[in-house]
Amino acid sequence: MSDRIAVMNRAKVVQIGAPDTIYEHPADRFVTDFIGESNILEARVAAVDGSECRIAVGRVEFAVPRRDGIAAGQSVGFVVRPERVLIGPAAEAVDGTRLTATVVDRSYQGAIIRYRMQLEGQEIVAEVPNRPDQPHLADGAEAMIGWTVASGELLID
């Protein structure tokens, strides 16, 4: 494994950096999709303030780290990786975003349980450890989901 990666799209370098930087802070949608699985929610910038801004996904708003080049009213993508999405008590305890989503599908995968959920008409995937302290939700169940502010990233088209 390398300590620096260059991601190219159509013979153009899009992003260079350490593997964790590229995974956690992708430069654009191509990098996001190329490096691992992602949840990309379509959103609108509601307000920009200091190091954070508020975005709206449907009728819900939440804080995200600010990115250069954004303005209120702008359409953006918001990416949060499935392993960063918390469910139930873990989501309720997080200092960050908390929203209600509905389970569409549950997939048991041994060490993890993968939930496909609906949030304001968009799909979001959560992968949670298969442990006794984690909720086991059935299809159709409503659940609190959440993530820390630093767990997500804005994508500008």
Assign residue 72 the CATH number of its domain: 2.40.50.140
The three-class DSSP label of residue 18 is: coil
Encoded tokens for 60? 């819900």
If asked whether residues 17 and 49 sit together in one domain, one would say: no
Domain count along the chain: 2
Name the DSSP class of 3. Answer: S
Pairing type for strands 52-57 and 39-49 reads antiparallel
CA gap 10, 74 in Å, rounded: 27
Extract the residue ranges of the chain whose pLDDT is less than 50. Answer: none
pLDDT of residue 1: 61
Q: 20-64: per-residue pLDDT in tens?
A: 999 988 989 999 989 989 999 999 999 998 888 999 999 999 999
Encoded tokens for 120? 């304001």
Which residues form the domain of 112?
37-155
If asked whether residues 61 and 134 sit together in one domain, one would say: yes
pTM of the full predicted structure? 0.89
CA gap 27, 110 in Å, rounded: 32
